[in-house]
Amino acid sequence: MRNTEMAKLGALVGEWSMTMSDAWFLEPPGTTVTGTTTIEWFGESLLVVRSVFGGGRHVHSEMSLVLGRSDPNDRFVALYQDDRGVCRHYAMTFDGGHWTMTREDPDFHQRFIADVEKDRIFGSWQASEDAGKTWRKDYDLTFERA
């Protein structure tokens, strides 16, 4: 039986084309990088998000998220990993139209803020090196249902 609260994330399930834009680290300014994302159920209470970026003149990159929930604490959680060997834990919210992931770790704070529509997700990753006092945009991510 599907976890009732996790079922609310069902709108994310599917195949998505993805575009990274407005990234401070991409040259020249205005450069975009495309990729794909697959979101699928793992059992009845977890979602697995797999993304692949790049190719061509851009570096190939892969990342994954496992989205779950702590029922006793009444909150969503996300575990992130990528092909650099990075692993991070995020607190997560999702209300059907708005999706956030945040972390407040000693190295830096980071957040993902997205608006979710039926066939489109528009989000932005931001970082803070001063414990959340000021934020800078890392990049925008747009997902279009494939």
Domain at 77, CATH number: 2.40.128.20
Residue 1 lies in a domain: no
Does the residue 11 lie in any domain?
A: yes
Q: What is the pLDDT of residue 56?
A: 62
Strands (E) located in 3-118: 14-21, 33-42, 46-55, 58-70, 75-82, 87-94, 98-104, 109-116
Q: What pLDDT score was predicted for residue 69?
A: 96
64 near 83, Cβ under 8 Å?
A: no
Give residue 58's pLDDT: 65
Number of compact structural domains in the chain: 1
Rounded distance, CA 64 to CA 50, Å? 5
- How many angstroms separate the Cα of 34 from the Cα of each of 23, 31, 37, 52, 96? 13, 10, 10, 9, 25
Residue ranges for the chain with pLDDT beneath 70: 55-58
Asked if residue 138 is part of any domain, the answer here is yes
What is the span of the domain harbouring residue 107? Answer: 6-145
Is the dihedral angle over the CA atoms 3, 115, 145, 55 positive or is it negative? Answer: negative
> Rg of the chain over CA atoms, in angstroms?
15
% residues pLDDT > 70 (the chain): 97
